[in-house]
Amino acid sequence: MNDQSLHEKSSEILAKVLDLPFQEAIKKINELSESDEQLRKETLALYNEIYAEEVEKDNNTDETTFTKTKLIGRKDSVFRSKVVSSWTKNLFGNKRNRLILVIFFLLLLLSGGILSGGYIRNNILASEKEEKIALINTTTEIFQRWLQYEKEKIKSFAEQETIVRFSKSIDSLENLDESYQLLRGSKTAVEVTKWLKKNKKSSGYGIISLLSNSSPKDLLSTSIVDSTGVTKMFGADLGEIIYKDYLRARTGEVVFIPPINNLDLINNYDKGVEKQAWINFLCPVFDENGEVKTILCGSYLAIKGFSNILKVSKHGATSETYAFNEDGKMLSSSRFTEQLRNTHLLEFDANAETIYNIDLRDPGVNVMKGATPRLQKVAQPYTEIVEMALNRIKANDSTFTGAIMEPYRDYRGIEVIGAYVWLPEYNFGIITEEDYEEALASLMYFKYTFIVFFTVILLLSFLLFNSNVRIARIGKKVDDFSVLGQYKLKEKLGEGGFGQVFKAEHTFLKTPVAIKVLKTEFVNTDMLERFEKEVKITSSLSHPNTIKVYDYGTTDDNNFYYVMEYLNGISLDKVVNMNADIPLARGIYILYHLCLSLKEAHEKGLVHRDIKPMNVMLCDQGGAFDLVKLLDFGLVKEVDTSISQQTQINRIGGTPMFMAPERIRDPFNADQRVDIYSIGALGMYLFSGQYLLELISQKMLSGEQTLQGDFRSQLIERKDIPTDLSNFLGECIRFDPNKRPESIDVLIAFFEEKNKEYPWTRQDAKNWWNTYDVYS
Amino acid sequence: MDKKNVTKILNDSSLERRDAQLYPLVYDNLHLIAEKLYAREKKGHTLQPTLLVNEAYMSLVDQDHIDWKGRSHFFAVGAQAIRRILVDHARKKNANKRGAGAQRIDLEEGIAYTPEKEGNLLDIDEALEHLERVHERQAKVVELKFFGGMKMQEIADELGVSIKTIEIDWKVAKAWLKKFMQSDI
C-alpha cells in the first residue's frame, strides 16, 4: 500500500471517529482498520495527535485568553481588571445578586444613618445634660447667694435697736396677757405697726410682720392695717405647713420659707384677700440676754424676687427653670404663664399665677393644645423628674441632683428632658427643662437631611436597579435572540438581501431547522397580513422539491421570521462556480425538478418570483443525492426589490439576472410567466456558467448587430447541449411574456422528455457527492 | 498595478489561463509589500502573511465589482504566492532548519513570521510538500488557511467540496504535519 492510499484511508477512518468519545474512537479505529496493521498504526498515531491537541486546547483555554489579554494592557492591570471584572460579574451578573447587593447597600446606609443618628443624639443629650446641670448649679449658686444676702439683711434688720426694743415690749405685753388683748389694744401695737410700715419701703419687703415667740401666731404686721392702726391679722394662727419653720426660727435660726400661698400661710385668712404666693424670711429678734423676744418675718411676693432669679436662666424657645416643693407644686412663675392661663391648669383664670397653683403632675395629654386629661388631678402621677426628686428625698440617700435625658411629659403634657437639684436646707428644688424637640432640633435636622438623602439614594438605587435590569434584559434579549419561539438559534448560515438565515434546533425535538429572519420591519399591518397569507400558502406546499416551511412569527424587535426544513446541501450557485461544467443530464434533472416544485405552487396561485441559483439547493438528504430544493417561495419579494435591489443591481450575481423584465419594472407582478422566464435564465446559466446579460453582451461584442432572431438559442456555446434544449430555453426567456411557453406544464413535459433522453441516475449523483462531501 | 485588470481576470471564470495570468500579478505585489517590510525588518518584528495577502487584495482588487468566488480565488492565489515569498526569503538568508519539534508551531493562528522563525518556516514548507504528495487537497487546505488566512467556508467554496470535508482535512492535515515534523529530525 502506498503512502497516498494509506493516508486517504486513515483520513476516511478519522472522519468517522472524530466526533466520538476517546474510547469509542479507538475501538472504532481498530475495528475499521481490521487486519491492516500499518493502517491501524498510522490512524492511531494521527488520532492521538488530534486528540492531544484538543485536550490541550481545552486545558489552555484560560491560558490563551490570558495571553491574548496580555497584549492589550500590562499584565498586572489586566490581572486586576480580570479580578475586578470577575467580581463585578459575580456581583452584578444576575438579577438576584444585584438586588441583594442593592438591598445590602441600602441596609448598610440605613443602619449607618441610624447608628450615626443615635451617636449624634447621644452626643447632643450628653451635652444637654451637662448644660442642664451647669444651669441648675448656676441657678442654685445664685439662689444661695441671694438667700445669704436676704438672711443677712433680715438679721441686721432684726438687730436694730428699735426692733429689739419693740420686741421686748411686745413680749412683756404678751406675757402679761396671754390672750393678746392687752397687746392688741396697746399703744405699742400701733406704734410698732407704724414703724414697721415706715421701714417697709426702705427694706424692700412686701410685708413685715412680728410673730409671737410663744405660739405660732402673727402679731403685728404691715398687712391690712385697719382703722385701729393694727393689722387685721393680729393674733391669727400661722398655717400648719410653716410650723416647722417657725419652730426652727424660735430656736434662733434664720429661716427661709419657699413660696407659700397666703391662704396656707395664715389659718382662717380673710377669704376676701386675693390669692397670692409669698416667700418669707423668719428671723428671731434677740434681747441683750440672747433670748428670742419675737420673730421677725420679712415677706416678698414670690412672683417678684424669687421667680425673677429663675427667669434669668430662661433661654431658647422652650427651656425654663422653675422651683418646686415637697408637694410637687410649682413655686415660681412659668415662662408659659400666659398660655397656661388659657388652660384648665390655671383654671382659665386670666390673672392667675403659676406659683403654687401648678401641680407638677403628668396630665398624660398635651394640655397646651387644649386636651383634657383623663384623670383627676390628684390621680395623675407626678412628672417623672419630680417623682424622681421626691423619691430621693424620701429615700434620704443624700442624693439631691438628677437628670432625665429620655423624653418624659412635663406638667404641660409635652415631652421634655430635664435636670433637677433639691436644696434640703431650704426645702425646695429647682428643675430645668427643655422640650425634647428643641433639645434635639439639630438631631431633627440631621434626621430630615438623612431621610431626604436616603430617599434620593433609594430612588436612585431603584432606578439603577431597574436600568440594570433593563440592561440585563437587553442582554437577555441578545441571548433570547438565540431563541425564537420553539427554536434555538445556532450558527448563521448566510446573509441575503433581506434577511439572515440561521441554523436552529427545535427546543424539544432537537430537529435541525433553518430560520430566516427578515431584516425589514413590518411598518404596517397591511404588509404583515399579506406576508402571513403568503407564509400560509407556502407552508401548504408539500412537493418534495419545495423547501418545507414549518412555522413563522415575529421577533421582539418586530422582525418577521419563518422556520424551514434544514437542508444538507450546496447551493446551485456554488455548483455552477465549481471548475467542472455541469453535466447535461444533471442540468436537465435540476430544471425538471424545479418545474415540478413550481407546478404545485402555480396551481395554488403562488408565484415564486425570485428563482435564481442561490435559491436552489442540491441536497444529500439521508442518502437521497442531488435532491433539488427550491427555496424562498414568494415571500415579500416586493420589499427586497424596492429596497435593496438598487444596490444589488450593480453587482454581478445579483438577483435581477434571472428576473423577467416585466418583473423588474413591476415588483408586484405576480404573473406565473415570470417564473418561466427565470427557469429559462437559470437553464442558460447552468449550461453556460454565465449570466444571460453577459452572454448577450458577449454576443454583441463579437459582432452581432441586433438582438433579433433566434440569438437566444445560440447563447450557449457548449457543444453537448442539444439544439432543441437551447431553443426551448430561449423561448422561456422571451421578453414578451405572451411568447413564452404558456404554463409550467409545458416545461414539465419538455424536461421530462429530455430527462428520459439524458437520464441522471442515482449513481451519477452519488459519484458527484462522493467528490464533494468526501468523508460522508 | 491595474485594479480593473486583476478584477477582470478574477471575474472572468471562462479564462482557463486565469491562474497563470493572476499569479504573477499577485506575486509581484506581495513581493513588493514583503520586501518593504523586510527592509525595515528588526529583531522581534513580526510579519503576518495573512495580513499581507489582505493588503494585496485591497490594493489589487476593485471590491465593488467582485463576487465571493473571485475574492476567495484571489486569496487562494495569494496564499500560494506568500508561501513562495516567505520560503524564498528564508532560503536566501540561509536560515538553518531548526530541527523538528524544536519549536511549537501554532498552525491554528496562521503563521506569524519573525526572522527567528524562518527555519521553522522551512520545516513547514518541506512538510507541506510531503503532504502534497500524499494528499493534495489536505495540503491545499493548510496552505489556504495558514498562508492565506482563509475561512473554512471560503476554502470549501474555493476547492469545491463541503465545509465538513474541509474541517476534517484540516484536522487530519495538522496531525499529519506535526507527526511528520517530529519524526523527521
- The yes-or-no verdict on residue A93 having pLDDT over 70 is no
Model confidence at A49, in pLDDT bands (50, 70, 90)? confident
- The yes-or-no verdict on residue A590 having pLDDT over 90 is yes
- The pTM for the full model equals 0.54
Interchain CB contacts (distance < 8 Å): A and B:
79
Q: Give B78 to chain A, closest Cα distance, Å.
A: 19
Contacts of A652 in chain B (CB under 8 A): 11, 65, 67
Contacts of B137 in chain A (CB under 8 A): 774
**Residue entry with cell 399703744:** A187
What pLDDT does residue A497 have? Answer: 57
Which of B 43-102 lie inside 8 A of A, CB atoms?
64-65, 67, 69
Q: Give B92 to chain A, closest Cα distance, Å.
A: 32
- The yes-or-no verdict on residue A463 having pLDDT over 60 is yes
Tens digits of residue pLDDT in A345-393: 887 888 888 888 888 888 888 888 877 888 787 788 899 999 888 888 8
The CA-based angle A449-A450-A454, given to 5 degrees, is: 120
What are the CA-CA distances from residue A613 to residues A587, A619, A660, A750 (Å)? 12, 14, 15, 21
What pLDDT does residue A711 have? Answer: 66
Model confidence at A74, in pLDDT bands (50, 70, 90)? very low
Tens digits of residue pLDDT in B132-181: 998 889 999 988 888 888 888 888 888 888 888 999 999 899 888 888 88
Stretch (H or E) spanning B14: none
Name the residue facing B161 among A49, A650, A774 (closest C-beta). A774
Whether residue A46 and residue B169 make contact (CB cut-off 8 A), yes or no, is: no
Whether residue B135 and residue A7 make contact (CB cut-off 8 A), yes or no, is: yes
Model confidence at A703, in pLDDT bands (50, 70, 90)? low
Q: What do you get for the CA distance between the two ends of chain A, in Å?
A: 23
- The yes-or-no verdict on residue A595 having pLDDT over 90 is yes
Mutate which: B7, B18, B171, vs A, most A CBs within 10 A: B171
Task: Report yes or no: B134 at the A interface, CB cutoff 8 Å.
Answer: yes
Contact call for residues A213 and A253 (beta carbons, < 8 A): no
**Residue entry with cell 415667740:** A213
Number of other CB atoms surrounding residue A288 within 10 Å: 7
What pLDDT does residue B108 have? Answer: 52
- Nearest residue on chain B to A648, judged by CA atoms? B64
Contacts of B171 in chain A (CB under 8 A): 14, 18, 50
Q: Give B94 to chain A, closest Cα distance, Å.
A: 31
Higher per-residue confidence, A694 vs A390 = A390
Task: Report yes or no: B168 at the A interface, CB cutoff 8 Å.
Answer: yes
**Residue entry with cell 517530529:** B182
- The yes-or-no verdict on residue A585 having pLDDT over 50 is yes
Give strand pairing partners of A570.
A618
Mean pLDDT of A392-409: 85
Q: Lowest-confidence range among A47-51, A314-318, A387-391, B62-66?
A: B62-66
Contacts of A767 in chain B (CB under 8 A): none
Name the residue facing A773 among B157, B162, B178 (closest C-beta). B162
Whether residue B179 and residue A774 make contact (CB cut-off 8 A), yes or no, is: no
- The yes-or-no verdict on residue A283 having pLDDT over 70 is yes
Phi-psi sector, A510: left (phi>0), alpha (psi -120 to 50), beta: left
Q: Lowest-confidence range among A27-41, A206-220, A638-652?
A: A638-652
Tens digits of residue pLDDT in A475-508: 444 444 577 778 888 888 777 656 678 888 888 8
Mutate which: A58, A493, A568, A577, vs B, most B CBs within 10 A: A577
What pLDDT does residue A1 have? Answer: 58
What pLDDT does residue A642 have? Answer: 41
AA identity, residue B110: G
Reading the block at residue A651, the C-alpha cell is 453587482
Mean pLDDT of A601-625: 86
Tens digits of residue pLDDT in A147-176: 899 899 999 988 888 889 888 888 888 888
Tens digits of residue pLDDT in A196-243: 888 888 888 888 988 888 888 888 888 888 888 888 878 888 888 888
Mean pLDDT of B55-75: 75
Q: Kindly state the percentage of chain A with pLDDT values over 70.
A: 85
- Nearest residue on chain A to B106, judged by CA atoms? A53
Whether residue A49 and residue B174 make contact (CB cut-off 8 A), yes or no, is: yes
Contact call for residues A506 and A513 (beta carbons, < 8 A): yes
Q: Give A457 to chain B, closest Cα distance, Å.
A: 50
What pLDDT does residue B166 have? Answer: 92
Q: To the nearest whole number, what is the mean pLDDT of chain A?
A: 80
Beta strands in A386-467, from DSSP E residues, in sequence order: 401-409, 415-423, 428-435
Whether residue A46 and residue B175 make contact (CB cut-off 8 A), yes or no, is: yes
- The yes-or-no verdict on residue A192 having pLDDT over 60 is yes
How large is the greatest C-alpha to C-alpha distance in chain B, in angstroms? 49
Q: Give A11 to chain B, closest Cα distance, Å.
A: 6
Rounded Cα distance, A255 and A151, in Å: 8
- Nearest residue on chain A to B168, judged by CA atoms? A15
Reading the block at residue A75, the C-alpha cell is 499584565
Is the CA virtual torsion A662, A663, A665, A666 positive or negative? positive
Model confidence at B15, in pLDDT bands (50, 70, 90)? low
Task: Report yes or no: A50 at the B interface, CB cutoff 8 Å.
Answer: yes
Name the residue facing B161 among A11, A652, A772 (closest C-beta). A772
Whether residue A3 and residue B162 make contact (CB cut-off 8 A), yes or no, is: no
Tens digits of residue pLDDT in A237-279: 888 888 888 888 888 889 988 888 887 888 766 656 677 888 8
